[in-house]
Amino acid sequence: MGRLSIDLLGITLDNPVIPASGTFGYGYEFAELYDINVLGTFSFKGTTKEPRFGNPTPRIAECTSGMINAVGLQNPGVDAVISEELPKLKKVFHKPVMANVSGFSVDDYVYTCERLDQEEQIGWLEVNISCPNVHGGGMTFGTDPKAAAEVTRAVKQVTQKPVIMKLTPNVTDIVSIAKACEEAGADGISLINTLLGMRIDLKTRKPVIANTMGGFSGPAIFPLALRMVYQVAHAVQIPVIGMGGVASAEDVLEMMMAGARAVEIGAMNLTDPYICRDIITRLPEVMDKYGIEKLSDLQPF
């Protein structure tokens, strides 16, 4: 294994940097800018059983040290992802990819995960029980330990590939949710998704996005995300993927020192499409600065 290499649930990644779902499309869009095979992997756009148009516009707005979004899981549906998106991706990305799955019922999650589990290109299933931007789905399951466990257990019964449960920070006790998922058979945990937030336009006297509230992400949430990653990583025995406001190579190392096995980068892809590539390039220099020989040797404090 190389200096930056890590193992993620039995699959070796060249480095721990993973663009987060919803910020990297299905990959081939970014492949027009640089060779995306430099990435460890990436989590593709949240996929549901049926096609979704998403929420009304405006649904993305910049704010101090971050952004608010309420895209609403716009995607073509799992059948179109398998027949159209994955073949296009295969031409430009030659590594296992992470499939991000959302749903509005346990049956939805089961159907979509079972379909994607059969695809050779997919290495992991990241099951999103944390989306704050849709009514009656996603975060509804992620705020209750029993519901989170129910989804986990149901998905594990129909899949062979590693299942990573993606958690919401919009809870009082995220550790209880993580432990419930672990006990139900989850292979890994990823966190955090966006925080529920809002802003008001003083000129129009209306919320800046049509959905009123949306997911707040960006550098402003990094300290909170780091705290939650630390808490969960020290409470479970399965690998944790950390995310939330990551914007630099230093942030990646902090996440790994807090207990993350790999690190996802979200909002920054929308402000700097080269951010993941540049962080990977800079990691060895920052590792040298802090006396870190190999990432695989890095132990959480």
CATH number, residue 46: 3.20.20.70
Those residues whose C-beta lies under 8 Å from the C-beta of residue 35, and which sit 6 or more positions away, are none
In a domain, 99, yes or no: yes
131 catalytically annotated: yes
In a domain, 31, yes or no: yes
Question: Which H or E run contains 276?
Answer: helix 275-289
In a domain, 65, yes or no: yes
pLDDT, position 134: 47
Indicate the number of domains in the chain: 1
Given 113, 131, 181, 276, the catalytic residue:
131
pLDDT, position 133: 45
In a domain, 46, yes or no: yes
Q: Are strands 66-69 and 214-217 parallel, antiparallel or unpaired?
A: antiparallel
In a domain, 229, yes or no: yes
pLDDT, position 277: 98
Q: In what order do the strands lie in the sheet with 122-128?
A: 17-19, 262-265, 240-242, 188-191, 163-166, 122-128, 97-101
Which residues of the chain fall short of a pLDDT of 70? 131-140
pLDDT, position 131: 60
In a domain, 1, yes or no: no
In a domain, 116, yes or no: yes
Coil/strand/helix, residue 93 = coil
In a domain, 214, yes or no: yes
| Percentage, residues of the chain above pLDDT 90 | 84
Question: What is the number of other CB atoms lying within 10 angstroms of the CB of residue 45?
Answer: 21
What are the residue ranges of helices labelled H in 118-221?
139-142, 145-156, 174-183
Coil/strand/helix, residue 23 = coil
Note whether 81 and 46 are within 8 A (CB): no
- Predicted TM-score of the model (pTM): 0.95
Q: What is the DSSP string of 195-226?
A: EEE--EETTTTEESSTTS-EEEESGGGHHHHH
pLDDT, position 70: 86
Those residues whose C-beta lies under 8 Å from the C-beta of residue 278, and which sit 6 or more positions away, are 272
Both tokens assigned to 69: 């979004």
Q: 97, 84, 115: which is closest to 37 by C-alpha? A: 97
Q: Identify the domain containing residue 182 by its residue range.
A: 6-297
pLDDT, position 73: 83
